[in-house]
A and B are shown apart, each in its own frame.
Chain A
Amino acid sequence: MADTAATVPAVGGAARAEPRGRKPRRALSRRNIIIYGTLIVAAVYYLLPLYVMIVTSLKGMPEIRLGNIFSPPLEITFEPWVKAWATACTGLNCDGLSRGFWNSVRITIPSVILSIAVASVNGYALANWRFKGANIFFTILIIGAFIPYQVMLYPIVIILREIGLYGSLTGLVIVHTIFGMPILTLLFRNYFSAIPEELFKAARVDGAGFWTIYLKIMLPMSLPIFVVAMIIQVTGIWNDFLFGVVYTGPETYPMTVQLNNIVNSTQGVKEYNVNMAATIITGLVPLVVYFVSGKLFVRGIAAGAVKG
């Protein structure tokens, strides 16, 4: 690593005038160029698709056919967006993504609430209350996190059919809750385990029982982990495709399934701008969650990375 250090002066007995103080560093040193250069190139690779998405969605079709995908729109139009939302055809119906959006909302919100409620109570029970067989079942749950979903797809179809929920939003909510349990239970269990046991013991000495301790002591202390769990679940459930396409029907398709239908199954002329607008709209919700949550998202990843 050659630096622009002054040559070490030969010994002269008396102290030399230079070098002194801070070592001179060029802002444009070779090291900096390599580091920032690579990072910027990488950033372009990552940002390019987003740019292209946005730009394409704002152009009219004639412009797209003529120009190249990287050029900014000559005339900005929001018509593709309106079309994507309200009138795009999926082959079965033509009311755009809005149907899928509201389906996704109706799927995500109850799923998130239910899965977090169940998993947090389970994690709390596992962390603080010992009972026979708990560890075995927990282990099975964790193993379940690794099993490819494909293996369990059909049995669940059968179960849902039996209860009459196959094809309904409620059925899908239940599926999401079930499959969210391993990761979330692990997350909450680890979090609650880290809370000093003395707190728990003191509450027991005060006479508090299972639910009291959970509601009055554990919950108020757990805001960060709840936020992380929410991030994992909202992102995972909103982005899900497999469960959506297996367990729902055309009326109840979530946004991702609808999106795929709109883009990949239209006959005739492909409206690329509408497709891109639809893609952006679908990706908007988790992106917003991502940018708002910042560092918490990173934490959520570390914890929930096993989930697909």
Chain B
Amino acid sequence: MSTDRPIRLFRNLNAKISAIPMIATALVVFVGGTFWTIVYSFTNSKLLPRAKFVGLDQYERLWGTNKWLISIENLFIFGICSLIFSFIIGFILAALLDQKIRFEDTFRSIFLYPFALSFIVTGLVWQWLLNPDFGIQSVIRSLGWESFNFDPLYNADIVIYGILIAALWQGTGLVMCLMLAGLRGIDEDIWKAARVDGIPMWKTYLFIVIPMMRPVFITTIVIIASGIVRVYDLVVAQTSGGPGIASEVPAKYVYDAMFLSQNLGQGFAASTMMLLSVAIVVIPWAYLEFGGKKHHG
């Protein structure tokens, strides 16, 4: 085997060659694509991209469109409820699983398996379950509660909650896993010290353990938040945005505008807004995590 030291340029060349796909992708798709979309959101593109600039026209139109406003409102409600409930449910389940119980693996498998399913599957299943004629409403009614009403999917006011139920079913397993990992990272001696001090368990959770889990909570929030903005498949499957446009969400607005209503400009503007909302959450977090300097170590 030759023991010649490879010359500098040649040594790095291999690494550089292998990194070209990454560089190319990074530049073209992520940076270039994003820029392109943002730039073209200031044009009046319709079926095809057109380089005619119209300033903030698209944005004004966007924020004047009922469909968009409803999407934003839905996203807001959905997002906040999603965060709150998945946190609460996820944490409680994690805390229960952390109690050294039997069948822990079984329970965890049960809570987590929905995460393995496609949002389409989830949406369709819950569409069926919430079917007013055959689903939960009819079952409860047949048991005697004649006036029981539970058809969120046909009620414009609460349809977003129907979607919420399905989303929680799919997503809390993930939150639970993250919380459980966080809980397991707590030094066991802290629990012992609290027990010797006579602190009841709920107080130990509330005042000692939860404050200690701040990093996990923050990571979880970021993960959930970036997922919330993208909600699309679930809505398409469960309600197709209905009834009417009552369950529209931004991601669906973008797709519909770009590929169904031949209104690229609107699509670009809407997706830029989506980008903005993600940036608002992620940038402060990234700054906190990595202290201003972009280190990934």
Contact = CB atoms under 8 A, between A and B. Distances in A.
Contacts, number: 269
A263 B178 CA distance: 34
A303 B135 CA distance: 37
A283 B12 CA distance: 44
A202 interface: no
B109 to A, nearest CB: 7
A304 to B, nearest CB: 10
Nearest to B22: A122
Contact of A241 (B111, B114, B236): B236
A146 B120 contact: no
A293 to B, nearest CB: 10
Interface string A95-137: 0000000000000000000000010011011100101011111
A44 to B, nearest CB: 9
A141 interface: yes
Contact of A259 (B38, B111, B124, B173): B124
A27 to B, nearest CB: 11
Contact of A43 (B22, B107, B177): B107
B29 A259 contact: no
A65 B128 CA distance: 13
Interface stretch (A47-55, A85-93, A220-228): A47-55
Interface residues of B, number: 102
Interface stretch (B66-74, B76-84, B186-194, B225-233): B225-233
B232 A242 contact: yes
B264 interface: yes
A282 B120 contact: yes
A87 to B, nearest CB: 19
A181 B29 CA distance: 12
A53 B125 contact: yes
B112 to A, nearest CB: 7
A236 to B, nearest CB: 10
A235 B29 contact: no
Contact of B223 (A68, A136, A298, A306): A306
Contacts of B245: none
A151 B272 contact: yes
Contacts of B284: none
B49 A154 contact: yes
Contacts of B109: 291, 294
Interface string A267-307: 00000100110010011001101110010011001100110
B15 A49 contact: no
Contacts of A129: 11-12, 15
Contacts of A1: 200-201
Contact of A207 (B3, B12, B126, B201): B3
A141 B26 contact: yes
Contacts of A43: 107, 110-111
A138 interface: yes
A291 B38 CA distance: 42
Interface string A151-181: 1111110110000000000000000001001
A82 interface: no
Interface string B240-262: 10000000001100110011000
A39 B101 contact: yes
Contacts of A138: 22, 296
B113 A134 contact: no
A39 B110 CA distance: 10
Interface string B32-52: 111011101000000001000
Contacts of B40: 154
Contact of A125 (B15, B251, B296): B15
Interface string A252-267: 0000100110011000
Contact of A151 (B33, B174, B236, B259): B33
Given A144-B29, A155-B33, 6 more contacts: A39-B93, A39-B101, A151-B274, A154-B36, A207-B3, A306-B226
Interface of B: 1-4, 6, 11-12, 14-16, 18-19, 21-23, 25-34, 36-38, 40, 49, 89, 92-93, 96-97, 99, 101, 105, 107-121, 124-129, 131, 134-136, 138-139, 142, 169, 173-174, 177-178, 181, 200-201, 223, 226-227, 229-230, 232-233, 236-237, 240, 250-251, 254-255, 258-259, 264, 267-268, 270-272, 274-275, 278, 282, 294, 296
Interface of A: 1, 35-36, 38-39, 42-43, 45-50, 52-53, 56, 64-65, 68-70, 118, 121-122, 124-126, 129, 131, 133-144, 146-156, 158-159, 178, 181, 185-186, 206-207, 209-211, 235, 238-242, 245-246, 256, 259-260, 263-264, 272, 275-276, 279, 282-283, 286-287, 289-291, 294, 297-298, 301-302, 305-306, 308
13 contacts: A135-B294, A148-B271, A149-B230, A150-B274, A152-B34, A156-B33, A207-B3, A209-B14, A239-B117, A239-B119, A279-B121, A294-B109, A301-B112
